[in-house]
Chain A
């Protein structure tokens, strides 16, 4: 019975699911890739060290402001629901743009949604990368400094590449989280998989089957990604284990 209704709904409404799926994947891909890129400058700020002997007063002040701002940023975006962030950002910007430019017809939910998921993801990836940097053996930095590399050069050439490589599985997990959590962005009217399912429900009056289909689609996406992440992890560990 359930199987026939599943195949019925799919054959009638597959375009809804396809379109929703595309938006969900788009949000997760852009959110994770963009979040990673946005996290990098913050990582630079978070991993600076204040040298009370050699830094000028101005640069100590700038570093302190930067670190403070980064802390507020990660605390806020990790401490509030993305759904709330999306509401504030979409409707807030809508008002601002209208007041400033006189019209806001180009301000679309999808643009707001992509920006929000990028910012939200970056806040998590900043913490992931900071942890990965802290986990690198301090001897790597000491060796670089002893050769004459500045702290900054040592970070860019030696520490960050290793930390980012080690953090890739965790960033993959962020992608999985984004696949699922992008569903909350439907609240501002993005036609993602969750929203698409809602449309099918309202036209079929069947409020269970479409969600079962959607659950299977989400599960497929996350399972494939989890498999890839696992492969990435075992490749990394496999490489290290051989040398122990």
Chain B
């Protein structure tokens, strides 16, 4: 049990009358790569955003190690420092250049001095292949470059887990590969990750566990080969068929 990083218990979330998440339960173990698939509106992005409380569930518990994020007394900001997140639209800070995007939280939240923070930032920028762009204005970067910087920014905090919200959905097709490679390399190093994606081939290759979501519930979960080759549920089969046809 000690290697459970995230434990999601009976999480429900609705927007108005629309029940987006209906009683979700999920455990994420150390070094596990969990991928959420499903059609748009199935609730997978909402679930991911609940994991660091960017979306606040209506009820349930989200344990990050032993801390319940849903407890109002929990120091959310502190715990979020250990939960990295990468967004569909990158969300790099527009008023900062590449390296300052990476060092800001290190300096302002971790109290590191500028030199140490920049050293760390350069290490992670090199890791995603963006070291040469350290001084660049973020507005000048391509989508793929922005997303790699966003990954480096999250890695700088040396998180226990990384959340990826459709990290390649806003990218031109030729840039998808460079971002997926970075994520794959992280998986190999044993980074714990939860990924929402529409890239089925990538999901099949990178995941330890795949969750198929529909209408706010996890309809089916299992190892990639189980889900892709022997889906138990008819809906899962139809969804994957549609995807492989495209």
Q: A: which residues have CB within 8 A of B?
A: 53-54, 137, 139-140, 142-150, 153, 157-158, 161-162, 165, 239-240, 242-243
Contact = CB atoms under 8 A, between A and B. Distances in A.
Given A53-B72, A149-B77, A162 B54 contact: no
Interface residues of B, number: 32
Given A54-B72, A243-B140, A145 B54 contact: yes
Contacts of B76: 54
B109 A148 contact: yes
Contacts of A242: 140
A53 B74 CA distance: 11
A146 B140 contact: no
Contact of B94 (A145, A148, A150, A162): A162
A137 B91 CA distance: 8
Contacts of A137: 89, 91
Nearest to A162: B95
Interface SS majority for chain A: helix
Interface in B60-97: 72, 76-81, 83-85, 87, 89-95
Contacts of B91: 137, 139-140, 142-143
A59 B24 CA distance: 33
27 contacts: A139-B91, A140-B91, A140-B93, A140-B94, A142-B87, A143-B85, A143-B92, A143-B93, A145-B54, A146-B52, A146-B84, A146-B154, A146-B163, A147-B157, A148-B77, A148-B79, A148-B80, A148-B81, A149-B105, A153-B108, A153-B109, A158-B95, A162-B94, A162-B95, A240-B139, A242-B140, A243-B139
Interface in B151-172: 153-154, 157, 163
A148 B87 CA distance: 15
B56 interface: yes
A55 to B, nearest CB: 9
A150 B109 CA distance: 10
A139 B89 contact: yes
Contact of A239 (B80, B93, B139): B139
Nearest to A144: B93
B104 interface: yes
A181 to B, nearest CB: 32
A146 to B, nearest CB: 4
A165 B80 contact: no
Contacts of B163: 146
A143 B72 contact: no
A144 B79 CA distance: 13
B87 A143 contact: yes
